[in-house]
Amino acid sequence: MAKTKDSLNISGDISIHSENILPVIKKYLYSENEIFVRELISNGFDAITKLKKIATQEAIENIPEDFKINVTIDEKKKTITFSDNGVGLDAEEVQKYINQVAFSGATDFIEKYKDKDEAENIIGHFGLGFYSSFIVSENVEIESLSYKEKSTSILWSCDGSTQFKLVEGKRKTVGTDIILHVSEESKDYLSEMKITELVQKYANFLPIEIQVNGKKVNHENPLWNKQPKDVKEEEYKEFYKTLFPYNAEPLFWIHLNVDYPFNLKGILYFPKILHELDANKGNVKLFCQQVFVTDDAKAVVPEFLTLLQGAIDCPDIPLNVSRSYLQNDPYVRKISSHIVKKVADKLNELYKKDKSNFESFWTDIHHFIKYGMMEQADFYEKVKDIVIFPSSLGYNTSIPEYLERNKEKLEKKVLYCTNKDEQASYVNLCKKQDLEVIFLQSLIDTHFIQFLESKNSDIKYTAIDSELSDHLVDNTKTDIVDKDNKTNKEKLEQLFKTNLNNDKLKVDVKSLKTDSVPAIILESEQTKRMKQMSALMKGSQMPIFDDYTVVINENNALVKKVLNLNQFETKQEKVKLLCEHIYDLALMGNKPLDGDKMQAFLNRSVTLLEDIAGE
């Protein structure tokens, strides 16, 4: 190292314990090369913050009126310059902070990263933020003037090797310019639009003006720094547009503001789900003191809340955090638990204070809430009483409300319907007897009600097409025995078994309180749930056998006529057609017929209509 006494002119080696540290940084961070924008702006902001603090403690001449950071792109010179008017550096400080990458275990560092794809851990791991500039540069210069009295400007340069040069600079005002001579492979960064996008991505909310080629490009003050009581609804919506300009208005939001036992600020939005794929577009941007860190914050936000969008600021999380750090850090787990609690609190608040609004967006969020209840016991306990289902009474109901209304008729039983269109006949049967039915909304509900049963074993959930409630059957009717000592029920059972010619089919005869339905299909609760679970699992090869019963309603006029026709030998063909038709009608009341069954039904319909027309 040599130094002349007349002027500043120093050449030498950067003091690091491994001469290939810069090639390692440059090579193994290539996929993360845009990170230099964040690091250099953060450095500039730190320098300005320090000068502001010093100015409160001592008199400083020529303190800037307006603090700012300016990024200048010169396509002709192939340079990007990051300028700030912060504390600046003198020659001694450059020697100390730039020329000495002073960290312990440098050799271990090289060995760890030179052969592994762990780029996200490198920059910042040992305070190397400034050196991120070499990722995109073939040469880097620092021109700076310290705020200290009688300081002279310095110019430091390095070509990415361990060799540097330090001479007098020409800067006249306090602050620092970091000049990147952009390499050929990184020339895409010589674009005002590109740099503006990156500044807005990483530093949009830094509390200082940031310019790109002299034009302000950032917002400075994020909404999360305000007290929730001071923020209007329109401000929340506008901030959402700032973060996600192409999205529809959010359903509602949660403003986080915690000082103890950890620091956390942010705003989380429940987005409007316009398509089922939108549920995978959740995006929570993680900031550290208003500097963007990542939008891959899955460890911070629980899996069941992946639809959430917004921003959270965690000052205790390092800028260069890795995914494994987020997954394993106890501080992050506390944040995640707090977010779950705040979501539960918000849902309860909306349910109690603004129920109509709560109900309006329930369709968008119920999948995630139910999934969260099944995943996290604490969340279940907080929201179990506000989960709602559409009811046959024409409004939404929670399970506690349903049980209270129906405690005399159904005791601790909940009647549910999986498809109100396909099972309309069953719903109508229940309605006529004033039995309330809840409608399941999606495949997850079939799994969810089993979960609810596991939590409350004394409450039974029963599909309306799995068994007949006592309230639907007329048990006052007495059986009449004919001369052959057979009741009508026995004769009808034998009649349908014979004509349907299905040994596996169970036939039962009941006197329903309604006479409008000739027959209905009942499928055991166990079989229904196995089928529903198989549908939920998609691709399951588990064999599931039909286990259902056709219930013949002996109070129905058509059934009575069929029984009467059976007395005549000449009417047996017609009796068979009618039995098959009644059976198919019952099947269609449960779910649509398909393929050959539908064609047979249509052909039979034509035959019966022709018979009627010919009478």
| pLDDT (0 to 100) of residue 153 | 95
Token pair in block for residue 435: 């039995």
| pLDDT (0 to 100) of residue 538 | 60
Is 174 in contact with 146 (CB distance < 8 Å)?
Answer: yes
The C-alpha atoms of residue 591 and residue 575 are separated, in whole angstroms, by 24
| pLDDT (0 to 100) of residue 118 | 45
Is 344 in contact with 352 (CB distance < 8 Å)?
Answer: no
Token pair in block for residue 597: 């069954």
* DSSP structure string for 562-583: HHHHTT-GGGHHHHHHHHHHHH
Is 515 in contact with 556 (CB distance < 8 Å)?
Answer: yes
* DSSP structure string for 527-543: HHHHHHHHHHHSS----
Token pair in block for residue 128: 């190397």
Domains in the chain, please, with CATH? 19-216 (3.30.565.10), 223-357 (3.30.230.80), 477-520+548-613 (1.20.120.790)
| pLDDT (0 to 100) of residue 596 | 85
| pLDDT (0 to 100) of residue 2 | 45
Mapped to the 3 state alphabet, what secondary structure does 179-245 carry? Answer: EEEECHHHHHHCCHHHHHHHHHHHHCCCCCEEEECCEECCCCCCHHHCCHHHCCHHHHHHHHHHHCC
Inter-CA distances, 161 with 9, 13, 51, 103, 186, Å:
19, 9, 31, 18, 18
Token pair in block for residue 70: 């300016």
Instruction: Chunk the chain into consecutive blocks of 10 residues (it has 615) and report each block's average pLDDT, rounded to whole numbers.
Output: 56 55 57 84 91 86 86 97 94 81 43 47 51 90 93 91 88 95 95 96 92 93 93 96 90 92 92 68 86 80 89 80 63 88 96 94 92 94 96 96 93 91 88 93 89 94 85 76 77 90 86 89 78 64 65 92 90 92 88 84 86 75
**What are residue 270's DSSP bridge partners?**
252
| pLDDT (0 to 100) of residue 3 | 47
Phi and psi, residue 103, nearest 5°: -140, 155
Classify strands 209-212 and 68-74 as parallel, antiparallel or unpaired: parallel
Is 177 in contact with 82 (CB distance < 8 Å)?
Answer: yes
Rounded to 5 degrees, what angle do the CA atoms 179, 184, 186 make? 70
**What are residue 25's DSSP bridge partners?**
none
Helices (H) and strands (E) in the chain, counts: 18, 23
Is 469 in contact with 455 (CB distance < 8 Å)?
Answer: no
The C-alpha atoms of residue 223 and residue 236 are separated, in whole angstroms, by 8
| pLDDT (0 to 100) of residue 155 | 96
